[in-house]
Structure formats: C-alpha cells, structure tokens
Chain A
Amino acid sequence: GQSLEQPSEVTAVEGAIVQINCTYQTSGFYGLSWYQQHDGGAPTFLSYNALDGLEETGRFSSFLSRSDSYGYLLLQELQMKDSASYFCAVPSGYSTLTFGKGTMLLVSP
C-alpha cells in the first residue's frame, strides 16, 4: 500500500520562506506530486518530481530524494493568498493518486 506523512499545520509570515516536507512509503514509486487546495475549493496541481533534485516554478519549488523516500515543497516570498492546504500525492496503480493528509499553511501579515 501507499502512505504519506506530512505536517498537519505550518505557520509563517508574509515574505518568508516555508518548506513543507513529505515522506512516503510505496510499493512502487513513479513520482511525487503536490497540490494546493484553498478552503472550500478544488485541488490544483502545483508540481511533479519523478527524478531526484529540485524543480522550480516561480515562487514554488519541489524537491525529491528517492533514496530517502522524501520530498518537500518550498514556497518563497509568501503571500496571504498562499494560505491553503497543501497535499503531497503519489500515483498508485493505473492512474490513481494517493494523497497525504495535507498541511494547512497559515500566512499572517
């Protein structure tokens, strides 16, 4: 089976940098995805790492270490609108996704 662990909540101030970690246990590994979900809204895709290293997309970056079964999402220059839940996810089987429990990010002024 698949299991993912991530912190339940992270707080930070505007302009800061925050890192959300995710460790996983999978029976087969294809990559690690990150999704953002605002309260009451739909999850939106942020990034995907299939290989080790850092992927940068604007203010957001995602990192993967397959040997450590570990990844993180890095958010820079935090803005109030970044307050949301962030989920790491792994593909499991044919096209399905297993999600972590989510990390609620609270950005304060």
Chain B
Amino acid sequence: GAVVSQHPSRVICKSGTSVKIECRSLDFQATTMFWYRQFPKQSLMLMATSNEGSKATYEQGVEKDKFLINHASLTLSTLTVTSAHPEDSSFYICSAFNSGNSYEQYFGPGTRLTVT
C-alpha cells in the first residue's frame, strides 16, 4: 500500500512560536492531501484540503492565517501552526489518497504538538 510520512512525530514549543509539520507521500504522487486534528479520545476533524500548486481549502472555523498550508510539490505538504497557543496542542495527522479511490486514504503517523 501507499506510504505517507510525517515529520516531526512529536514537538514541544513555547507559546507564541511557530511550528512546521511536513507530510510526504513516499511512493506515490498526491495532488491532494488532507490535514486533520484529533484531540484525545475524539474523532478526526478535517482542517483543510491541500492542493498542489494552489491554495488550500479550509473547513469552516479553521483560521487560514493561523494554520498555513503549502503544497509545493506532488509529494510534500506542510502545515505551519503560527503563534501557537496551548489550546493548539493536539495530534495533527495528514492523509492522501492514491489514484481515484478517495474512500481509501493513507494516513501519516501523526504529529503530537504540545504548546507550553
């Protein structure tokens, strides 16, 4: 199956700083990637859809100026959490789908962000 990686797996940052999370499709090209946020014991909430070569599409309630998404190549999307606050502490997961099967998404291992 397709492999998606994320880096870093864990990050601790101070309040007010910015953090960049990378999502890579290792053995396939992904024109579209997705960013989710998951709080403990809760479901995955879609934050935004990242489109290669164009602007990301953000879900309602997600601040596009706070969560900057860049999808500069067919294998890399980045999420930057700007001016992080403790309430941004969460598990951030990216995903992509290979070819036309959008119902079968491949997820990265996730990034645990802790803002102190």
Contacts and interface: CB of A to CB of B under 8 A. Distances in A.
Interface of A: 30-31, 33, 40-45, 48, 87, 89, 91, 94-102, 104
A91 B46 CA distance: 12
Interface of B: 32, 34, 41-44, 46, 49, 93, 95, 97, 101-110, 112
B46 A96 contact: yes
Contacts, number: 52
A48 B95 CA distance: 17
A101 B93 contact: no
A100 B44 CA distance: 8
Given A40-B110, A45-B105, A97-B46, 11 more contacts: A30-B103, A33-B103, A40-B112, A41-B110, A42-B108, A43-B44, A91-B103, A95-B32, A95-B97, A100-B43, A104-B41
